[in-house]
């Protein structure tokens, strides 16, 4: 299968490219390298350094004529979206529109869109959160990801391609950047380098954490089955920041007492996802336990730190 992956040198999408290449797909990997690392893209993929907002990218889609596009290129953080919502809008919405219009002209058969189950629902009215729950985004980032879902559905119907929307829980694992401000990544790096961690709010805020290899499997199932629809992709259970801290300390060893800081703007108290629909229609469920995932993550960062600072 011909598959084009955007954001392909980044944390999650680089793992997806690896998996597609391993099974023999013809992969075009696109990234503007603003935050991605070219070294994370396997040589067997065709790599193109390109920004999804450009006419160059639109031409690439029309020339490559992929059967499926897996779209991960984004401004992916809540904090920067609050500080600069215009940039967030430009990357997450205008870039997506360039992709969708080009995909329509190129005869693409499916778009797999990476959305954010951790933000588009906002403060949950009931738990676990189903896909038909009200969406109450509480940050510009969440608003742009939700807007992107509507654009994907519209262009899918208008252009006759399948639109698969994956609402991710909080993803962790090897290759994540400390700059992502993801709590597991930041805690692992600080503990391994002997620095105290900072727990925001009271640490009892609890979220749904899913290991990156489970996200990869969800994308492969989506591409293979070409299902229209919106699917939660997570572990289906909450884990608090304090629980993560204690689990990492148990793996890495005793740590200095953590510092504390106020609640982050846009943070929610608790969320975890009902992933039954992904089980029914994608034959997918999360397989990696938090303990196993944390051990794999720590092992990768320990090796990365030996070679220098974590990216």
Residues noted as catalytic: 141
Phi-psi region at 113: left, alpha or beta (left = phi > 0; alpha = psi -120 to 50): beta
In 7-135, which ranges are E strands? 26-31, 46-49, 68-71, 110-116
The Cα–Cα gap between 78 and 57 comes to 26
Q: Which pairs from 40-49 meet CB under 8 Å and 24+ separation? A: 40/9, 40/10, 40/14, 40/175, 41/8, 41/9, 41/14, 41/17, 42/17, 42/18, 45/8, 45/17, 45/20, 45/21, 47/8, 47/9
Identify the CA nearest to 308 among candidates 191, 189, 173, 212: 189
The Cα–Cα gap between 240 and 246 comes to 10
CA-based torsion, 277, 278, 283, 287: positive or negative: negative
Tokens of 85: 């919502």
The Cα–Cα gap between 75 and 107 comes to 27
Separation of CA 69 from chain center: 15
């Amino acid at each position: 299968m011909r598959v084009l992956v955007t954001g392909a040198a980044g944390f999650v999408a680089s793992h997806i490219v690896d998996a597609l290449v391993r099974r023999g797909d013809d992969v075009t990997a696109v990234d503007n390298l603003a935050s991605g690392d070219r070294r994370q893209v396997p040589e067997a993929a065709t790599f193109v350094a390109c920004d999804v907002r450009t006419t160059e990218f639109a031409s690439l889609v029309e020339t490559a004529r992929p059967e499926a596009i897996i779209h991960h290129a984004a401004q992916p953080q809540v904090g920067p979206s609050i500080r600069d919502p215009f940039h967030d809008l430009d990357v997450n919405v205008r870039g997506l529109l360039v992709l969708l219009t080009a995909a329509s002209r190129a005869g693409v058969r499916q778009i797999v869109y990476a959305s954010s189950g951790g933000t588009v629902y906002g403060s949950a009215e009931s738990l676990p959160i189903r896909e038909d729950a009200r969406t109450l985004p509480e940050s510009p980032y969440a608003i742009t990801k939700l807007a992107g879902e509507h654009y994907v559905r519209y262009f899918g119907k208008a252009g006759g391609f399948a639109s698969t929307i994956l609402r991710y829980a909080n993803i962790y694992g090897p290759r994540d950047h400390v700059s992502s401000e993801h709590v597991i990544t930041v805690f692992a790096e600080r503990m391994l380098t002997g620095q105290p961690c900072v727990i925001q709010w009271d640490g009892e805020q609890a979220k749904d954490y899913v290991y990156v290899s489970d996200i990869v499997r969800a994308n492969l199932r989506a591409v293979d089955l070409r299902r229209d629809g919106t699917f939660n992709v997570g572990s289906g259970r909450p884990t608090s920041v304090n629980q993560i801290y204690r689990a990492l300390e148990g793996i890495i060893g005793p740590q200095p007492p953590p510092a504390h800081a106020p609640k982050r703007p846009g943070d929610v108290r608790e969320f975890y996802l009902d992933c039954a629909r992904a089980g029914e229609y994608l034959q997918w469920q999360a397989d990696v336990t938090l303990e196993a995932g944390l051990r794999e993550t720590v092992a990768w960062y320990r090796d990365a730190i030996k070679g220098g600072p974590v990216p």
